[in-house]
Amino acid sequence: MMKRLITSREALLVGAIALLLALISSRFPAFIAPANLVNVFNDTSPLILLAIGQMIVILTKCIDLSVAANLALTGMVVSMINVAVPGLPILFILVIAVGLGTLLGMVNGILVWKLAIPPIVVTLGTMTIFRGMIFLISDGKWVNSHEMSPAFKAFPRTELLGLPVLSWIAITAVILFTVVMTRTTLGRAFYAAGGNPHAATYAGINVGKTQFWAFTISGALAGLAGYLWVSRFAVAYVDIAGGFELDVVAACVIGGVSIMGGIGTVVGALLGALFLGIIKNALPVVDISPFWQLAISGGAIIVAVALNAQANRKKGRIILKQAEQAT
């Protein structure tokens, strides 16, 4: 059973990624050079972080549209803190980023849990509120690279064993959440709450509370990604990561996470994010008219989702052998 799942979904995606890389290398061979693939993985790391959080939220039959706004707000706050107190160690910056992100995620969680407002409405609202708050605290001004301290900008770029810290954070998150999702009570509760909420309730799982924790985790990861984002691009302003929430949801859906809840894995989210990341990084070098790029990104998403839907479709039981042969 377990084996069949792996052969169907994740393996299919790995195959699709390999095919994609082969196609790209036929037009631009340097793309699959190891150094470039490391770059692509590094560039995709924020998307991987957010996709893991989003996957957990989607597992519980919810959706978090505020992740990109959360990322932008946290990024702006930590960069403003960095400008005000340049000497603050990066460890504190990380704690503040994760802490603030968690808090923002909890706001979503509380509204969904205690007030039972549909998650898409809640996060659509908080998305706008977070963006508005960035404008309020920054006055619409940018925080620029020369205002940020060198240590603040250097952290995600620092190389450890040949990989930048940014990539290591994504790898750590993948391992950590694979363990959480498969080996802890909370992890299994996410699947139960989304797979069959009624059964989960009878089994003693508080569905609302589980959803609250899903939003909290998603917020924490968005906050962490917020710091990494502003320090990597060395700029913070109101519109950073505009529209990124859609990429995150797309990465999850491509990765085989069922939008109906209950189905999905961390590895799936990782592969979905990588698939999108490769497309985003390849389009600039394969010399395709920019007018076609959006259409190609969109087409790839639809194809991947269609394949997934085929793979996920429950096979009906054949009742009439003759009728089945007739069609």
Partner 1 sequence: MKRRTFTKLTAGLSLAASLFGTSALAQDNMRIALVVKALGIGFFEAAAEGAQEAADELGGVEVIYTGPTDTTAEGQIEVINALIAQNVDAIAVSANDTDALVPALKRAMQRGITVISWDSGVAEEGRQMHLNPSSNALIGNMIIKLAADHLPEGGDVAVLSATTTSTNQNIWIEEMTKVMGDYPGINVVSTVYGDDLADKSYREAQGLMQSFPDLDAIIAPTSVGIVAAAQAVADAGKIGEVNVTGLGLPSEMAGAIESGASQSFAIWNPIDLGYSATMIAHALASGAATAEPGAEISIGRVGTITLDDTNAAAMADPFVYDASNIEQFKSIF
Q: Which of 235, 296, 307, 311 binds partner 1 (CB under 8 A)?
A: 235
**Alpha carbon distance 224, 93 (integer Å):** 10
The answer to whether residue 233 forms part of the interface with partner 1 (CB under 8 A) is: yes
Single out the residue of 172, 152, 128 nearest to residue 77, CA to CA.
152
Task: Find the shortest distance in angstroms from Cβ 171 to partner 1.
Answer: 20
Site for partner 1 in 3-22 (CB under 8 A): none
Q: Which of 202, 290, 314, 319 binds partner 1 (CB under 8 A)?
A: 290
Closer CB to partner 1, 23 or 309, in the complex? 23
Closer CB to partner 1, 27 or 114, in the complex? 27
Stretch that binds partner 1, among 1-9, 24-32, 219-227, 260-268 (CB under 8 A): 24-32
Site for partner 1 in 200-229 (CB under 8 A): 229
Cross-strand pairs, 159: 164
**Alpha carbon distance 49, 219 (integer Å):** 11
Phi and psi angles of residue 163, each rounded to the nearest 5 degrees, phi first: -120, 145
Phi and psi angles of residue 199, each rounded to the nearest 5 degrees, phi first: -60, -40
Closer CB to partner 1, 146 or 317, in the complex? 146
Closer CB to partner 1, 209 or 280, in the complex? 280
Q: How many Cβ atoms sit within 10 Å of the Cβ of residue 120?
A: 12
The answer to whether residue 234 forms part of the interface with partner 1 (CB under 8 A) is: yes
The answer to whether residue 280 forms part of the interface with partner 1 (CB under 8 A) is: yes
Closer CB to partner 1, 3 or 287, in the complex? 287
Q: Which of 21, 135, 142, 168 binds partner 1 (CB under 8 A)?
A: 142
Single out the residue of 239, 227, 46, 225 nearest to residue 151, CA to CA.
227
The answer to whether residue 28 forms part of the interface with partner 1 (CB under 8 A) is: yes
Number of residues that bind partner 1 (CB under 8 A): 30
Both tokens of residue 104? 């923002």
Phi and psi angles of residue 164, each rounded to the nearest 5 degrees, phi first: -70, 155
> Which residues have a Cβ under 8 Å from the Cβ of 158 and sit 6 or more positions away?
164, 165
Q: Which of 132, 242, 298, 299 binds partner 1 (CB under 8 A)?
A: 242
Contact 45, 170 (CB under 8 A): yes
Sign of the CA dihedral 287, 290, 294, 295? Answer: negative
End-to-end CA distance of the chain: 29
Contact 101, 219 (CB under 8 A): yes
Cα 33-35-39 angle, rounded to 5 deg: 115
Stretch that binds partner 1, among 35-43, 101-109, 174-182, 257-265 (CB under 8 A): 35-43
Dihedral through CA 127, CA 125, CA 193, CA 210, nearest 10?
A: 70
Closer CB to partner 1, 289 or 322, in the complex? 289
Stretch that binds partner 1, among 12-20, 232-240, 258-266, 300-308 (CB under 8 A): 232-240
**Alpha carbon distance 285, 266 (integer Å):** 29
Q: From residue 146 to residue 175, what is the string marking binding to partner 1 with x (rule CB under 8 A)?
A: xx---------x------------------
Q: From residue 98 to residue 137, what is the string marking binding to partner 1 with x (rule CB under 8 A)?
A: ----------------------------------------
Residues of this chain that interact with partner 1 (CB under 8 A) are: 28, 30-31, 36, 39, 43, 142, 144-147, 157, 229, 233-235, 239-244, 280-281, 283-285, 287, 290-291
